[in-house]
Amino acid sequence: MTTGFFWDERCFWHSGGNYAGLLPVAGLVQPGGGLPDNPETKRRFVNLMRVTGLWEALETQTAPAATSEDLLRIHPSSYLDSFRDASDKGGGELGLRTPFGAGGFEIAALSAGLAKGALFATLRGEVQNAYALSRPPGHHCLPDFPNGFCLLANIAIAIEAARAEALCDRVAVIDWDVHHGNGTEAIYYDDPDTLTISLHQERNYPLDTGDFADRGSGEGTGTNLNIPLPPGTGHTGYLEAFERLVIPALRDFKPDAIVVACGFDAGLVDPLSRMLAGSQTFRAMTELTMQAAADLCDSRLTLVHEGGYSEEHVPFLGHHVMEILSGSAITAADPFQPRFEGQQPSDRFNRYVSQVIAEMAEVLGY
């Protein structure tokens, strides 16, 4: 079996609005650059795999858009109606930094459909594992409030569609996007059958969510795990967080499927973070997750694209993840790696990060 890669050119046509970086263009803000979530990070990821030949090793395909029924399992009809209406009228903004253009609703539904297609293909055993190159991303989106470039909650939509078809029951979501997965957390905060784990740069975005103390509520108490990490955590710290916190949480939970919210914005040169993760970090996190999936849930593993804003670096990070997922020997040497090695934290800082992680592990009894 091969690795599935779900993508669609139309997701690259989602409009980022008239932004200059994170700022709407107005007054003294000169136009240019666009929203950080521009299509080039994604398009160049595809292009790099085509150039190296890794593309040929993957089962590349598109998927149908998520249906109204799929969307309504997560989002209230009032939000979906407003979104569709504004989209039909040429675009708009319904939340925080989530501009969209004409047809934005259909593109967002397609983005969620790619996540659903990838998850279904994995759960049905049609592929070894799968990656969905979803755009717009989804992990910040609340049921009725889009934010952080996210217009629909892609992963939750996919999981609930799979549950409706009895394809899975207990699902673990590992969110290694550098920002807190506040949308996924909110949707599943009371749900004991969905383990949501978010590793993120502390107090980045959203500023005031993602605290370690937020462990879920009601029947879902204990099935939400936030792992806020200090800026500059780096390769060693990420692996330690995985080994001491993420893997034990997965073992405790016993999922029957694992979904990764795969952002690449923890990368060394990402403009929206400062975490110093390199291609070796993403390789190692992918390997550890694959091993956990093999041990716990018959290797049922699906990755869904989230953030990642360095046009130059994301393609290499993505290529390395796809190499590991597919077991391909075709590699793309990461040109940032030499710089990465020169910028890793000192032993003293690593000890500090280690202590932060140890304190969380102690509370959890790991």
Q: Give contact residues for Zn ion (rule: CB under 5 A).
A: 177, 179, 263, 265, 307
Beta pairing partners, 261: 175, 304
The verdict on whether 305 is a catalytic residue reads no
- Asked if the bond preceding 64 is cis, omega within 30° of 0, the reply is no
CB-wise, 16 or 263, nearer to Zn ion? 263
Q: CB-wise, 80 or 197, nearer to Zn ion?
A: 197
CA distances, 298 to each of 54, 57, 125, 254, 285 (Å) = 25, 22, 10, 11, 18
Helix (H) or strand (E) holding 194: strand 194-201
Q: Closest approach of Cβ 246 to Zn ion, in Å?
A: 18
Those residues with Cβ within 8 angstroms of residue 240's Cβ, 6 or more apart along the chain or in another chain: 353, 354, 357
| 3-state DSSP assignment of residue 55 | helix
Per-position DSSP letters for 317-346, written without gaps between them: HHHHHHHHHHT-------TTHHHHHHTPPP
Q: Do 322 and 328 meet the contact criterion of CB atoms below 8 Å apart?
A: yes
Question: CB of 297: closest distance to Zn ion in angstroms?
Answer: 26
Of 6 and 264, nearer to Zn ion (C-beta) is 264
Annotated catalytic residue, options 140, 235, 305, 313: 140
Strand 23-24 to strand 19-20: parallel, antiparallel, or no bridges (unpaired)? antiparallel
Nearer Cβ to Zn ion (286/310):
310
With DSSP H G I counted as helix, E B as strand and the rest as coil, what are the percentages for the chain, rounded to 5?
40, 15, 40
Measured from the CB atom, is 198 or 224 closer to Zn ion?
Answer: 198
Which active-site residues does the annotation give? 140
